[in-house]
Amino acid sequence: MDVEILSHDLLFGERQARLVLANDITERKQAEEALRGSEAQLNDAQRLAKSGSWTWEPSVQLTWSENMFALFGIPDNEPPTFEKFLARVMEEDRKRVMDGFQAFLTSTRTLERVEYQIVGDDGEPITIQAIGYVERDDSGVAINVAGTVQDITERKRAEEKVQRQNLRLSALREIDTAILAADSVENIVGAALSHIRELIECQRAVLSLIDWGANETVVFDVRTVNETSIPQGTRVPLALFQDISQTLSKNQPALTNDLRALADPPPLFQSLIKEGLRSVCILPLFSQDNLIGAFSLSSEIPGFFDEEKINLGREVANQVAIAITQSRLVEALQHLNADLEQRVRERENLIAELTAKNAELERFIYIVSHDLKSPLVTMKGFLGYLEQDAMTGNLERLKGDSHRIASAVDKMQELLNDVLELSRIGRFVNPLETIPFEELAHEAIGLVGGRRICRV
């Protein structure tokens, strides 16, 4: 039990007395200890949550929690004041915070939420979320104000990171959609450059392709805010950027944080400096493990390209490289298909020509075989007559039949010579020719000689 002793000296005339009172303060002690424990727990909780609390009785007293001092970097042995608080608020937020607080006090609202930034001990900004509560009398005048503050810097950074990630994914989808919708390499590159320049908020975006035969890089397309002295079609010798070329060949970005800091910038960089550009990020374009070009981004701000911007640029560069490769493959396939179609047409024409030639050859063979057969029939017939003439001893007829056989042999020899001549020259000559009927009749009568060749 805790006892509190109180004593008082009393004077009764000339006599003195002392009054001693003993009070049981056990419950009060327990309440004080519980309060101190609660305050300790509150301070621990606020320290873990990076938060603090305050109360203010207008024109009377301002009270801060222990962690409020730590959060604002003010010694806890100093009395809290609004002046000390405002001194830590960043200058661009001070007027907004105070005007908002005054408006809150004179309004009818009982709850207010605001965000602002203060200067941390390391000089870096800290984002604070403040919530104010007000108690008013019957006339609406504020009689008691309380509030909490919390360091939400990490949360804001996480939210901003998520927002940037969502923005990046959205931009990549837009670029991907634009690439898919494009019907040529020119439109693919133009869409990608426009989107990446707006997304990263840089002043200049360029895509160059390497002409390995000429050992040069060719500016394929340029998207820039201002006029440029390096327009589309500009050719630059690779020898002027040997170090950059070697870096890109290793599939690594080539970064220049400040062009003006270069001791001897090459002519191309000098042109960029004249355009007011300060930092450049050059990203490689690879197709099937081969360096085909570069994706260049430029800004007016020195050191503008951080890791996040570089990674975003690389993603877009990879998309463009894939799109260019696919476009080239499609173009090559189209040329191949056209070539195959041409070959098929030529083959079909050749087949048709060969078919016609075969038909002509068949007609020729038919005619030749018929012409060759005619002398043979004649010779066979007159050989029979020769046998009869020999048996009857008719020498006159024997001579005539022999002459006709010899004529038929000469005719066959002539036909065979014609066939051999055609095989030597390697071309087909239509054997059909116009012969006067009277001449043909006389020749036939001459072969027969007035005798029947066929026997019944």
Per-residue tokens: 266: 């090459």
Give the other-Cβ count within 10 Å of 221's Cβ.
21
Per-residue tokens: 241: 């950027």
Question: Is 453 inside any structural domain?
Answer: no
Please, are residues 267 and 240 in contact by the beta-carbon 8 Å criterion? yes
- 42 and 106, same domain (yes or no): no
The pTM assigned to this predicted structure is 0.51
How does pLDDT run across 415-449, given as a tens digit for each residue?
A: 777 777 766 555 444 555 666 656 656 655 555 55
Q: Can you give the residue range of the structural domain that contains 190?
A: 182-305
- 14 and 44, same domain (yes or no): yes
Which of the listed residues 131, 151, 171 is the one where a domain comes to its end? 151
Strands 235-237 and 125-136: unpaired
Which of the listed residues 279, 305, 331 is the one where a domain comes to its end? 305
Q: Looking at beta carbons, which pairs linking 45-48 to residues 24 or more positions away fall under 8 Å?
A: none
Question: Is 177 inside any structural domain?
Answer: no
How does pLDDT run across 48-88, given as a tens digit for each residue?
A: 557 888 888 887 788 888 888 888 888 878 888 888 888 88
CA distances 406 to 203, 375, 378, 414, Å, are 103, 10, 10, 12
Return the half-sphere exposure (C-beta side, CA atoms, 13 A cut-off) of residue 394.
Answer: 11
pLDDT of 203 reads 92
Amino acid (one-letter) located at 180: L
- 2 and 15, same domain (yes or no): yes
Distance, CA of 102 to CA of 145 (rounded, Å):
12
Which of the listed residues 248, 280, 305 is the one where a domain comes to its end? 305
pLDDT of 13 reads 62
Q: Looking at beta carbons, which pairs linking 296-300 to residues 24 or more positions away fall under 8 Å?
A: 296/204, 296/205, 296/206, 296/207, 296/208, 297/196, 297/197, 297/200, 297/202, 297/204, 297/205, 297/206, 298/202, 298/203, 298/204, 298/205, 298/206, 298/272, 299/202, 299/203, 299/204, 300/203, 300/276
- 10 and 56, same domain (yes or no): no
Total structural domains in the chain? 4
Distance, CA of 54 to CA of 372 (rounded, Å):
130
We report the CATH number of the domain holding residue 235 as: 3.30.450.40
We report the CATH number of the domain holding residue 384 as: 1.10.287
CA distances 188 to 106, 172, 224, 230, 322, Å, are 59, 13, 17, 21, 11
CA angle in degrees (0–180, nearest 5) for 451-452-456: 145
Q: What is the CA radius of gyration of the chain?
A: 55
- 253 and 294, same domain (yes or no): yes
- 146 and 72, same domain (yes or no): yes
Alpha carbon 377 to its chain centroid, in Å, reads: 85
Question: Is 160 inside any structural domain?
Answer: no
pLDDT of 423 reads 62
Please, are residues 238 and 215 in contact by the beta-carbon 8 Å criterion? yes
- 424 and 382, same domain (yes or no): yes
Phi, psi angle pair for 307, to nearest 5°? -60, -40
Task: Provide CB contacts within 8 A for 261, sequence distance 6+.
Answer: none
- 435 and 372, same domain (yes or no): yes
Question: Is 36 inside any structural domain?
Answer: yes
Q: Mark the ranges of the chain whose per-residue pLDDT is less than 70.
A: 1-49, 179, 182, 422-456
Please, are residues 97 and 85 in contact by the beta-carbon 8 Å criterion? no
Query: What angle in degrees, to the nearest 10, is found between the helix axes of 395-425 and 307-392?
Result: 170
Distance, CA of 205 to CA of 194 (rounded, Å):
8
CA distances 373 to 379, 402, 450, Å, are 10, 19, 20
Q: Give me the residues paired with residue 129 across strands.
A: 115, 150
